[in-house]
Every structure is written in structure tokens, then in C-alpha cells.
Amino acid sequence: MQQQLSLWRGRLQALGPGVLMATAAIGGSHLVASTQAGALFGWQLVWLILLVNILKYPFFRFGVEYTLTRKESLLAGYQRKGRGYFYSFIGLNIIAAVVNTAGVLLLTASLLQYALPGNLSVTLLCWLILAACLVILLLGHYKALDNVAKLIMIVLTITTVSAAVIAWQNGAQAPAGYVGPSPWTLAGLGFLVALMGWMPAPIEISAISSLWLKAKQRHSHVTRAQGLFDFNLGYWLTAALALVFLSLGALVQYGNEQPIALAGSAFAQQLMTMYASTIGDWSRPLVALIAFLCMFGTTITVLDGYARTLHASFEQLGLIKHKSALNYWLLAQAGCGMALILFFKAALSPMLTFAMTLAFLTTPVFAWLNFSLMRGEGAIVLSMSLKWLSWLGLSYLVGFALLFLAWFSGLL
């Protein structure tokens, strides 16, 4: 009994990077893509969400397992593998940092626009949110906010699961005999790719998680079992919540005569109405606040995580030798993200679609990098099932990416 208590105490103390990954993940892919998947297509995409979470699992896990085994971050492994690999990672990571920053910032601003009285522009709200995030990060108060973000995530999870249970008890709102559109057409390929891009999170989050784990190892000892428990808890909780959000959209919005808003304040209004129609109208302002704070925490996590990854990358190249340079990375990333928002004229739908699609197209590259590190010099022993799942996942990701590129270029 005492041994079991000690085991669980160690696991709970090791919680951190996996939960942080979940905090970063439950944003655009869940609030937007999963909910819209259910609202537009009912239950038809349940298996796709399950499949993509299962097939991406090894490549996220490798980031954690490599750091736990080798006692170094994925970045060190990329650099040791060769300049071409490392420079490719840096280039793709710079693009992902800018695009994902713009995407989550726009979504956060849209939720805030709905929650606030008046008619403030999304662009102005983006500036205000970005300024608040930078002040928090530059003053070094991220750790305190991270603790609050975890609490917010727990509240959002309880609220969403409760809403889904109530919606299930009330029954589907779609009229009897209603037949919705099919996602299995070439016209729907763009939505499917966008859905999978951020599901459960952009795959470069694996490198960020590796840095978070490395930082935790400097303060406390984390065994392989403890680290994998933390990762698995965060990963599969994120996957389960994606299905919860989809079920909420399928039960409440699917078959509704009102067109499904794909972005902007109209989407935020429909999202809040969905909760209010199941839990009660009293919950509308509470859920609006929780959803905004959830995305606000995601925005800060994205800013902090990508900036730290880029800073560490250039530090390993010997181009940066002082820690204050992290602040310059933060400012540069924020400025480029805001420039992208201005370029898209604060249009959330094309911005999010672009971010999610780009994330999916770069996934095979990051996935192969992580897998190749596990199979390289001094290879880490992998189970046969994990090896087969990795090859299957790579085949699926590459195949779907090529199919999308052929469709996008007009070859199909």
C-alpha cells in the first residue's frame, strides 16, 4: 500500500510538461475545428479524429522519451543529426511560430469581442491582447499565469463535459430523418486537412514539450515512467476532449436551420449559445469568460513556447550567448504574427484555415525527424507495436499531404 502511494505521489509531482501541452492544444483545434466538425457533419468524423490522434501519438511521445532517455532536448538531437535537419527544423519552426501566433491571437480576440460591450474591432483587441501577453512574459510572471491557466482548463473541461452529458440526455436536435452533407468529397478535403493540422496540437509542440521537460529535470528528478505518465495523461485527455467538443456540436448544432458560422464574432456567439441552450442561459457570460481565458492562456503558451524553442536553437548554433535575447525573440514573433493578421485584414476563417493546413503539411517533416532520432546512432529500444504505428502514421500523413497538394494544385 505504501509503495503504491509513493508511486502515485511521484507521478503527480512529475506532472507538468504533459499538462502544459494539453493547455496549449485545447484551443483552435477543439473550440473551433472539433465543434465545427460535429455541427457540420454530425458523427461522421469521430473515427477521423480518433485515427489522427492515434497515428500522431508516437511522434509526440518520441519528444518526451528522447529527452527522458538521453537527458537532452530534441533540439540537441536535431543538431547532432546534421545541419540540414537542424536548419530545416528552424526554418519550419519560424514559419509555424508566426502563423500559429496569428491564428490563436485572432481567435482570442474574437471571443473577447463577443464578451465585451460595444463594438471594438478585432484588430484593436489583437493589439491589446498581444500587449498584455508581452507584459506578462517580459516581466517573468508566466509561471503564475500557467498555474491559473491549468485551473481554467479544469473548469472548461468540467463545463464542456457537463454540457455534453446534458445535451446527450436531451437528445439530438436534428430533425428526424435529417441527412447532412458528406465530408468525404474532394470539396471537403480542405476542411479535413485543417481539422487534422491542429489535432491534437501542431506537432512542433513536441520540441517545445522537450524543452519544458528539460527545464523540469533541472529542478526535480523525473523517471521515465513518471515522464511518460505525465505525457500520456495530457495527450489522451486532449484527444478525449476533442471528441467531447465534436459531440456537443453534433448534438446541439447539427441539423440546425441556422447556417454554421465558421469564424469571427458570429462563431463566438454560436459557441456561447450552444452552451447556454444545454446548461442554461445563466452560463453564457461565465462560459464566455472561461473560453476567452482558455484561449488567452493558449496565446501566451504559444508565444512563450515558440520563442524559447527558437532562442534555444540559435543558442545551440552559437549565435546567441545571452539569455535576454529571449525577449527579442518574443517581440519579433509577436510583431510578425500581428503583421500577418493585418495582411489577412483580421479575417479569422482564412487565417485559421491557413494555420491549420500549414501545420498538417509540415507534420510529416517533424514526425520523420522525431522518429529518425529514435532510430539513429545509439537507438532507443522501441516496442514492435510502436514501430509499426510509427510507419503507419508516417505513411498516412505523407499520403494525405500529397493528396491535398494534388487537389490544391488542380491535379484532381
Whether residue 304 contacts residue 142, with contact meaning beta carbons closer than 8 Å, is answered with: yes
- Considering the segment(s) 2-408 as one domain, its CATH architecture is Up-down Bundle (1.20)
Question: Any idea what DSSP says for residue 282?
Answer: G
What DSSP assignment string belongs to 160-220?
Answer: HHHHHHHHHHH---SPTT-----S-SGGGHHHHHHHHHTSSS-TTHHHHHHHHHHHHHTTS
Residue 392, pLDDT score: 95
Residue 141, pLDDT score: 60
Q: In whole angstroms, give the CA distance from residue 27 to residue 380.
A: 33
- Segments of the chain with pLDDT less than 70: 1-20, 23-24, 27-28, 141-150, 217-221, 258-268, 321-323, 346-348, 376-379
Q: In whole angstroms, give the CA distance from residue 392 to residue 371.
A: 12
Q: Where are the domains of the chain?
A: 2-408
Residue 128, pLDDT score: 94
Residue 78, pLDDT score: 87
- Extract the C-alpha cell encoding 203: 506537432
